[in-house]
Amino acid sequence: MSSTPPLANLALPVTDEALAARLQQRLDTIEELLAGHVQGRTKYVSEAAAHLMSAGGKRFRPLLVLLAAETGPEPGCDDVLTAACVVEITHVGSLYHDDVMDEADLRRGADSANARWDNLVAILTGDFLFARSSELTARLGADAVRIQAETFTRLVEGQILETVTPGPDEDPLQHYLDVVAGKTGSLIATSARYGARFSGAPREVEEALAAYGEIVGAAFQLSDDILDIASETDESGKTPGTDLREGVPTLPVLMARAAGAGSSDPADVRLLELLDADLTDDALLAETLGLLRAHPAMEQARAYVVRQAQAAKAHLDVVPAGPVREALEAFADLVAVRTG
């Protein structure tokens, strides 16, 4: 595992100076393209559609498109740049819908669209962005349209499943993993696939990068689950227990519930009581965090994410050795041990 710091302010740990410079230059171009792509025919639509896009974000998905494109002979071609815009516009569109579902007031440090306007405007703006991403995908050809449609199906199905309580015969943990795979893993897999495909990389590299993206993307979300419980605000920038307070099921919580079912251990019994309680109370939330941090489920969750990161890296064997592969491996390593 490399400890060399990245050379650019990128969402992926790129340590090769020339590669980082190329990626940053192309990412700057994509930023300009995105600003144009979210414009509508009226000022009102343009303002609503640009609201979250202009709020920033890590641009992880388009960056992964650009990094994966480095495995082909035409990494900076127009189709690669278009594909990078497609995945980011799709992602941002999904955020508008997420905020309505979560009744969120803030997104990326700014008012959410539903808070600034209302739920109807937020939903329709998300739809507008999905439509715009479809327009751009059409420029990439029929096969890209198929890939995008399949990705979008999985993404929306994941959003729907998130609202559904698993049935009595269903495993709650597997249900949650399916949600994460659909909502997060699917689009990150497509990001890696698009970069390889539209730069002309060999098909085996494209398939390997798509498999890598699927696994590492989901693992990144699962590592967020661990941070929600394990981190302190000053080291992660996140407020610990946010998901707990909102009653959102996460990997460590689901593992703790499974381990505590039928247990007579007082700590397990108390933890299960708290997980079913109203954790908007600060004292109860603090008690729950303390019990979870000491619970074996935390190490179990960490071990699961480490295994997923290793599984993602195993798909990179067909990617030529060099700075691109090193960056992808370093990102998987980062996912396994991240603290923020």
SS3 113: helix
> Is residue 2 over pLDDT 50?
no
Residue matched to tokens 């937020």: 122
Contact criterion met (CB below 8 Å) for 53 and 35:
yes
pLDDT tens profile 151-194: 999 999 999 999 899 988 999 999 999 999 999 999 999 999 99
CA distance 314 to 285: 39
- Work out the burial of residue 135: count CB atoms within 10 Å of its CB; fewer than 13 is exposed, 13-18 middle, 19 or more buried: exposed
> Is residue 230 over pLDDT 60?
yes
The pLDDT of 192-199, averaged and rounded, is 98
> Is residue 236 over pLDDT 50?
no
The pLDDT of 75-92, averaged and rounded, is 97
**Worst-scoring range by mean pLDDT, 3-7, 129-133, 156-160, 196-200?**
3-7
CA distance 226 to 308: 14
Tokens matching residue 134: 């479809």
Q: State residue 8's pLDDT score.
A: 54
Q: Is 245 left (phi over 0), alpha (psi -120 to 50) or beta?
A: alpha
Long-range contacts, 299-304 (Cβ 8 Å, 24+): 300/252, 300/255, 300/259, 301/222, 301/225, 301/226, 301/251, 301/252, 301/255, 302/226, 304/222, 304/251
Q: State residue 340's pLDDT score.
A: 55
pLDDT tens profile 90-145: 999 988 877 776 665 555 556 666 666 578 788 888 899 999 999 999 999 999 99
> Is residue 231 over pLDDT 90?
no
Q: Is 237 left (phi over 0), alpha (psi -120 to 50) or beta?
A: left
CA angle 159–165–170, rounded 5-degree value: 105
CA distance 60 to 49: 19
Average pLDDT, the chain: 89
What's the one-letter identity of residue 329?
Answer: E
Residue matched to tokens 């060399």: 4
Q: Which residues of 203-239 are buried (b: 16+ CB within 10 A; e: fewer)?
A: eebbbbbbbbbbbbbbbbbbbbbbbbbbbeeeebeee
Q: State residue 111's pLDDT score.
A: 63
The pLDDT of 219-241, averaged and rounded, is 78
Contact criterion met (CB below 8 Å) for 65 and 195:
yes
Q: Which of 338, 334, 340 is nearest to 1 (CA)?
A: 334
129 to each of 85, 88, 125, 240, how far by Cα in Å? Answer: 11, 10, 6, 32
- Ordered domains of the chain (ranges, CATH): 14-201 (1.10.600.10), 211-339 (1.10.600.10)
Q: State residue 291's pLDDT score.
A: 95
Instruction: Compute the residue count for the chain.
Output: 340
Q: State residue 101's pLDDT score.
A: 67
> Is residue 36 over pLDDT 80?
yes
Contact criterion met (CB below 8 Å) for 191 and 144:
no
Contact criterion met (CB below 8 Å) for 319 and 205:
yes
Q: Which of 67, 107, 60, 69 is nearest to 87 (CA)?
A: 60
Q: State residue 337's pLDDT score.
A: 82
